[in-house]
Structure 1
């Protein structure tokens, strides 16, 4: 997993992993969620991947849109 840049300094996201058609996100506390194009939609996953790479806005996006996830670990 790649460390999330957290440019705002107050994100709940600590790391992420881009996968074809999916993104895996690790939150503070260790919970890991996998979001896929099937569970959340292609445009939502693409936006989450973009935000993850930019290092800003991912946690806010997830809290606002509450995308469906494939699994939680």
Structure 2
């Protein structure tokens, strides 16, 4: 799939995508990691709502969010 972006639009599209990616990671952290910081069992698998997240990616994401 491809999109045709007008003159100068590439920067805007990439910036918007970056903001949305950051918001998604923040939402995952606030709603699905931090509330269960003391319940490691609940952090073993991605949330049911986000079944498309592969376990290996989820494990790496959780580890990165729990590290200092």
Judge same fold: TM > 0.5, yes or no.
no
Greater RCO, 1 or 2 (C-alpha within 8 Å, sep 6+) = 1
Higher Cα radius of gyration: 2
More helix by share: 2
Q: What's the TM-score once normalised by structure 2's chain length?
A: 0.32
More strand by share: 1
Q: What's the TM-score once normalised by structure 1's chain length?
A: 0.31
